[in-house]
């Protein structure tokens, strides 16, 4: 008789998946509880071309609106990162037609002032906080827009490091701001114009150009297989 | 048993484990371990390719089947072009964007075509960092030697030398575009140590390195107004009388119409093959990683290198079910996270190379020291709370915000609970063989990024992929663009396809498989 294995995690939902009712773009389906929203789409036979990307929560392709049972609030999620539950209703959001400003990052003269030319709507934020509520990455988007307008580019770039560019902050903005695009501009400007140039990197580039490592290269590249393997083993 | 009950062994043994030092394996023990447990050595998963440039060489069955597969294109198709360009870039990830930007920068006309959206790629998911020797105690030569050792001495020396030497210039380019790498207090680039590396060499942007780089590159592609063909999957290449590459045929995924693009040169930057789920492994790869570029190049006559070796990232999530295969970044181990079996023991030096660590985890699980989930998966613990214990509360949250968020969505706080992991199919070590300008043996056909092969040998070191795709994306872009200036558009034919079909016929009945796969078949169909 098989002895009881004590190293098994109980997952009753896996052994006997409980089926739950969900609604996708208005049509009802039964799917196993706990699968992700994107897997629910596949489970119901739907091919996904728009709305699937990295499947790991990084690319923002699967921006989704959803609502749970008996709750009037429409929420947002990434379809690859959200488990379905009974009574849930959802629809994938196609990319929203936001306007992206076109600029040459390297020749900007006054990036903080240029923000107002590139995104003139940015200072019109009415503080409603809808963008922050819409962000599946829990970024304080409203705060970020304000900081951008007040020229605190460093804080914005730190706050938006988590931004997957899903764009769900955009359709909810009553001032027609695309906060993610504003933040991307600000972060790039911060990186290209307001961050110290790393001296060590410049030194290394010059060393390579000046051939500082040439002798070592010549030595290594002249080695036979055995010598090279032995040499590699000495690198600690 | 309740997962929390099983996790107690990790909490209980933590203090004792912290006093331990686990030595790295000797080269002989390492080789024996890999041969016994690494999936690359499971003979039953392999078979020889029957025909084509790599005839009789072994690769995994899933890939061999696709390489021998038939094109969806009739070889008498009217190939009157819908578009004409100097440089055609296929693939919108890191390598594709880098290639397109550099080619465009020289004044060449560039079209970037991609199967999904611009940016959809494995690159965007890269968390660990980018290896560049910038630290004073480090050097490109040391980077070369570390990579060679990690790659089992099989790396192409010329490619590797180019990569390590051009790395610092690439970092400079990215910084000028506005990429925000982590810094030290003195303004220099902060470097972390990765598995298999002798010096700290990883440039990072928190644990969002790939995302940060890709946000910037995508934005730059848009700023440069490079012509895009999105939701267009490459399904065949075009060749002239001499077999040189002259363009490609795409399937528009919206209306299934075929789109013909004439190009003076073609850069394939189509990424890897994780979504083939070779040997049944889950994968950390994005939805489109189905190895399209390998099939297209192979039919064209391009030789592949090292296609019998794949990287199984040691730490893919095993629990909860929703995160199966998702990556638990190597950064956790870099910062001292332990791997722990069901008995509460460490069993490998966590900073050994990925193939060694993966093989050790598989060994623990096969020998009964793993933890099983009821869905039939098995794994070992990664002691994530150890980081807070070691470096102070809040460390996990501060250094790994992406991972915290990913698990938090399923009610798991990784700063308090260890996570269950098992190797996940992560990277294709080999690919289409290229020279130092990213060109294949087929003239005017360039390949860069994960689809190319030779650079990483039989095992890739963490952080070398982001550098690979930038350096060889750049070289492909520059070479393709400069050549386009001095040449005429080649004739568009499907001669190579007729040749390929004739050869396939000689080797028995066609398998009936159409390649490339384009997208994995996850959609459930009722019988």
Distance CA A183, CA B335 (A): 30
Question: Which residues of chain A does B122 touch, with a Cβ-Cβ cutoff of 8 Å?
Answer: 54
Question: Which residues of chain B does A105 touch, with a Cβ-Cβ cutoff of 8 Å?
Answer: 176-178, 220, 223
In the prediction, which pLDDT does B207 show?
Answer: 86
In contact, A21 and A32? CB cutoff 8 Å:
no
Torsions phi, psi of B501, nearest 5?
Answer: -65, -40
CB contact under 8 A, A54 and B125: yes
CB contact under 8 A, B402 and A217: no
In the prediction, which pLDDT does B401 show?
Answer: 85
Q: How confident is the model at residue A13 (pLDDT cuts 50, 70, 90)?
A: low
CB contact under 8 A, B27 and A217: no
Question: Which residues of chain B does A50 touch, with a Cβ-Cβ cutoff of 8 Å?
Answer: 117, 231
CB atoms near residue A60 (< 10 Å): 25
DSSP code of residue A94: P
Q: Which residues of B14-26 are buried (b: 16+ CB within 10 A; e: fewer)?
A: beebeeeebeebe
Find tokens 């996904």 and name the residue: A48
Q: What angle do CA B335, B216, A168 make, to 5 degrees?
A: 90
Helix axes A179-193, A111-118, angle to 10 degrees: 160
Task: Report pLDDT digits (tens) over A99-118.
Answer: 999 999 999 999 999 999 99
This prediction has a pTM of 0.94
User: Strand, helix or coil at B333?
Assistant: helix
Average predicted confidence (pLDDT) for chain B: 95
Question: Which residues of chain A does B425 touch, with a Cβ-Cβ cutoff of 8 Å?
Answer: none
In contact, B231 and A48? CB cutoff 8 Å:
no
pLDDT at position A12 over 80:
no
Instruction: Kindly write down the DSSP assignment for every residue of B275-297, as one continuous string.
Output: GG-GGG--B-S-TT-S-HHHHHH
Catalytic-labelled residue, pool B14, B313, B377, B483:
B313
pLDDT at position B251 over 80:
yes
Chain A's closest residue to B223, CA to CA, is: A102
pLDDT at position A2 over 50:
no
In contact, B333 and B131? CB cutoff 8 Å:
no
Q: What angle do CA B478, B102, B144 make, to 5 degrees?
A: 70
CB contact under 8 A, A200 and B117: no
Alpha helices in B155-274 (DSSP H): 157-177, 209-223
Residues in Cβ contact with B32 at an 8 Å cutoff, skipping those fewer than 6 apart: none
- Determine the residue among A2, A7, A9 to mutate to test chain B binding: the one whose Cβ has the most chain B Cβ atoms within 10 Å: A9
In the prediction, which pLDDT does B510 show?
Answer: 64
Span B326-347, average pLDDT: 92
Distance CA B152, CA B170 (A): 26
Q: Which percentage of chain B shows pLDDT scores above 90?
A: 87
User: Given its phi and psi angles, is residue B431 left (phi above 0), alpha (psi -120 to 50 degrees) or beta?
Assistant: left
Alpha helices in B181-240 (DSSP H): 209-223
CB contact under 8 A, A216 and B122: no
pLDDT at position B116 over 70:
yes
Q: What angle do CA A7, A8, A11 make, to 5 degrees?
A: 155
| The 3-state secondary structure of B163-182, one letter per residue | HHHHHHHHHHHHHHHCCCCC
Q: How confident is the model at residue B376 (pLDDT cuts 50, 70, 90)?
A: confident
CB contact under 8 A, B120 and A59: yes
Question: Which residues of chain A does B370 touch, with a Cβ-Cβ cutoff of 8 Å?
Answer: 7
Span B175-200, average pLDDT: 95
CB contact under 8 A, B183 and A233: no
Name the residue facing A9 among B171, B177, B319 (closest C-beta).
B319
CB contact under 8 A, A102 and B321: no
Determine contact: B290 vs chain A, CB below 8 A.
no
pLDDT at position B252 over 90:
yes
Task: Report pLDDT digits (tens) over A33-89.
Answer: 878 899 999 999 999 999 999 998 999 999 999 999 999 999 999 999 888 999 999
Find tokens 């039939």 and name the residue: B376
Chain B's closest residue to A222, CA to CA, is: B157
Question: Which residues of chain B does A162 touch, with a Cβ-Cβ cutoff of 8 Å?
Answer: 208, 401-402, 405
Closest to B500 in 3D by CA, of B306, B302, B234: B302
Closest to B258 in 3D by CA, of B239, B238, B232, B296: B232
CA distances from B335 to B40, B383, B399 (A): 28, 11, 10
In the prediction, which pLDDT does A16 show?
Answer: 65
Q: What angle do CA B111, B117, B119 make, to 5 degrees?
A: 85
Span A154-177, average pLDDT: 97
In the prediction, which pLDDT does B509 show?
Answer: 66
Catalytic-labelled residue, pool B143, B201, B333, B460:
B333
In the prediction, which pLDDT does A18 show?
Answer: 84
CB contact under 8 A, A46 and B523: yes
Determine contact: B450 vs chain A, CB below 8 A.
no
Determine contact: B406 vs chain A, CB below 8 A.
yes
Distance CA B349, CA B109 (A): 50
Q: Which residues of B75-96 are buried (b: 16+ CB within 10 A; e: fewer)?
A: eeeebebebebbbbbbbbbbbb
- Determine the residue among B137, B166, B180 to mutate to test chain A binding: the one whose Cβ has the most chain A Cβ atoms within 10 Å: B180
Q: How confident is the model at residue A1 (pLDDT cuts 50, 70, 90)?
A: very low
Question: Which residues of chain B does A197 touch, with a Cβ-Cβ cutoff of 8 Å?
Answer: 175, 187
Q: Cis ω on the peptide bond leading into residue A106 (within 30° of 0)?
A: no
Distance CA B518, CA B508 (A): 25
Catalytic residue status for B333:
yes
CB contact under 8 A, B27 and A58: no
Span B120-147, average pLDDT: 96
Find tokens 């890897």 and name the residue: B272
Span B451-470, average pLDDT: 96
Give the closest-approach CA distance of B488 to chain A in angstroms.
32
Per DSSP bridges, beta strands B371-373 and A8-9 are: parallel
Distance CA B525, CA A52 (A): 19
Catalytic residue status for B102:
no
The residue ranking higher by pLDDT, A143 or B334, is A143
In contact, B243 and B93? CB cutoff 8 Å:
no
Distance CA A138, CA B137 (A): 39
CB contact under 8 A, A8 and B374: yes
CB contact under 8 A, A11 and B284: no
Distance CA B467, CA B143 (A): 12
Question: Which residues of chain B does A49 touch, with a Cβ-Cβ cutoff of 8 Å?
Answer: 116, 231, 253-254, 519
Q: How confident is the model at residue B322 (pLDDT cuts 50, 70, 90)?
A: confident
Span A158-171, average pLDDT: 96
Tokens of B158: 């010329």
Of chain B, the end-to-end C-alpha distance in Å amounts to 36
Determine contact: B28 vs chain A, CB below 8 A.
no
In the prediction, which pLDDT does B375 show?
Answer: 78
CB contact under 8 A, A103 and B409: no
Span B452-477, average pLDDT: 96
Task: Report pLDDT digits (tens) over B68-96.
Answer: 999 999 999 999 999 999 999 999 999 99
pLDDT at position A4 over 60:
no
Beta-carbon contacts below 8 Å between A and B: 236
C-alpha Rg value of chain B to the nearest Å: 23
Chain A's closest residue to B284, CA to CA, is: A56
Give the closest-approach CA distance of B504 to chain A in angstroms.
31
CB contact under 8 A, A42 and B2: no
Name the residue facing B172 among A9, A52, A205 (closest C-beta).
A205
Question: Which residues of chain A does B121 touch, with a Cβ-Cβ cutoff of 8 Å?
Answer: 54
Question: Which residues of chain A does B151 touch, with a Cβ-Cβ cutoff of 8 Å?
Answer: none
- Determine the residue among A7, A36, A66 to mutate to test chain B binding: the one whose Cβ has the most chain B Cβ atoms within 10 Å: A7
Task: Report pLDDT digits (tens) over B349-374.
Answer: 998 888 999 999 999 999 999 999 88
Regarding an ipTM greater than 0.85, the answer is yes
Give the closest-approach CA distance of B3 to chain A in angstroms.
5
Span B242-265, average pLDDT: 98
């Amino acid at each position: 008789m098989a002895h009881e294995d004590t190293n098994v995690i109980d997952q009753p939902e896996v052994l006997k998946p409980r089926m739950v009712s969900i609604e996708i773009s208005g049509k009802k389906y039964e799917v196993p509880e706990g699968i992700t929203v994107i897997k629910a789409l596949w489970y119901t036979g739907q091919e996904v071309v728009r709305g699937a990307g990295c499947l790991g929560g990084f690319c923002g392709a699967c921006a989704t609106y959803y609502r749970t049972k008996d709750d009037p609030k429409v929420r947002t999620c990434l379809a690859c990162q959200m488990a379905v539950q009974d009574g849930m209703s959802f629809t994938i959001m196609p990319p929203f037609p936001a306007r992206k400003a076109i600029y040459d990052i390297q020749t900007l003269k006054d990036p903080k002032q240029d923000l107002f030319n590139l995104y003139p709507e940015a200072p019109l934020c009415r503080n409603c906080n809808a963008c922050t509520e819409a962000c599946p990455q829990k970024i304080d988007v409203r705060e970020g827009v304000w900081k951008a307008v007040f020229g605190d580019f460093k804080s914005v770039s730190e706050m938006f490091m988590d931004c997957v560019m899903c764009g769900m902050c955009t359709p909810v903005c009553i001032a027609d701001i695309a906060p993610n695009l504003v933040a991307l501009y600000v972060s790039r400007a911060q990186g290209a114009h307001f961050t110290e140039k790393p001296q060590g990197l410049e030194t290394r580039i010059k060393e390579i150009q000046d051939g500082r490592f040439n002798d070592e290269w010549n030595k290594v590249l002249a080695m036979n297989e055995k010598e090279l393997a032995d040499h590699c083993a000495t690198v600690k | 048993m309740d997962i929390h009950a099983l996790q107690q062994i990790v909490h209980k043994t933590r203090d004792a484990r912290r006093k331990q030092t686990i030595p790295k394996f000797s080269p002989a023990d390492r080789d024996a371990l890999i041969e016994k447990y690494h999936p690359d050595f499971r003979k039953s998963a392999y078979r020889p390719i029957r025909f084509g440039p790599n005839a009789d060489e072994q690769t995994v069955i899933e890939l061999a089947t696709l390489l021998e597969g038939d094109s969806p294109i009739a070889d008498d198709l009217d190939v009157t072009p819908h578009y004409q360009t100097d440089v055609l870039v296929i693939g919108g990830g890191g390598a594709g964007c880098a290639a397109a930007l550099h080619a465009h920068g020289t004044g060449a006309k560039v079209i970037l075509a991609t199967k999904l959206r611009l940016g959809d790629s494995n690159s965007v998911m890269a968390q660990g960092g980018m290896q560049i020797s910038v630290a004073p105690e480090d050097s490109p030569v040391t980077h070369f030697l570390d990579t060679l050792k990690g790659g089992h001495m099989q790396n192409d020396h010329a490619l590797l030398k180019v990569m390590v030497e051009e790395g610092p210039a690439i970092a400079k380019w990215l910084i000028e575009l506005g990429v925000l790498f982590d810094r030290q207090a003195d303004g220099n680039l902060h470097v972390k140590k990765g598995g298999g590396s002798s010096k700290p060499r990883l440039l990072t942007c928190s644990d969002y390195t790939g995302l940060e780089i890709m946000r910037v590159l995508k934005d730059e592609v848009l700023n440069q107004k490079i012509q895009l063909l999105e939701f267009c999957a490459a399904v065949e290449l075009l060749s002239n009388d001499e077999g040189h590459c002259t363009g490609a045929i795409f399937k528009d995924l919206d209306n299934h119409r075929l789109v013909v693009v004439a190009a003076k040169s073609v850069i394939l930057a189509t990424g890897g093959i994780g979504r083939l789920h070779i040997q049944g492994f889950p994968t950390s790869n994005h939805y489109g990683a189905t190895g399209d570029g390998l099939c297209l190049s192979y039919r064209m006559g391009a030789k592949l290198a090292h296609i019998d070796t794949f990287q199984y990232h040691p730490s893919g999530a095993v629990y909860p079910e929703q995160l199966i295969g998702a990556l638990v970044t190597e950064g956790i181990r870099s910062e001292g996270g332990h791997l722990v079996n069901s008995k509460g023991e460490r069993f490998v030096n966590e900073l050994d190379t990925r193939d060694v660590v993966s093989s050790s985890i598989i060994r623990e699980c096969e020998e009964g020291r793993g933890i099983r989930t009821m869905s039939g998966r098995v794994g070992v613990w990664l002691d994530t709370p150890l980081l807070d214990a070691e470096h102070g509360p809040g460390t996990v949250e501060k250094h790994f915000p992406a991972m915290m968020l990913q698990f938090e969505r399923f009610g798991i706080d990784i700063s308090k609970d260890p996570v269950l992991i098992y190797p996940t199919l992560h990277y294709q070590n080999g690919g289409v063989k290229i020279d130092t300008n990213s060109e294949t043996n087929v003239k005017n056909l360039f390949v860069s990024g994960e689809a190319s092969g030779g650079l990483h040998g039989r095992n890739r070191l963490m952080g070398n992929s982001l550098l690979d795709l930038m350096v060889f994306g750049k070289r492909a872009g520059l070479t393709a663009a400069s050549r386009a200036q001095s040449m005429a558009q080649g004739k568009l034919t499907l001669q190579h396809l007729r040749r390929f079909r004739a050869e396939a016929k000689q080797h028995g009945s066609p398998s009936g498989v159409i390649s490339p796969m384009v997208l994995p078949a996850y959609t459930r169909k009722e019988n």
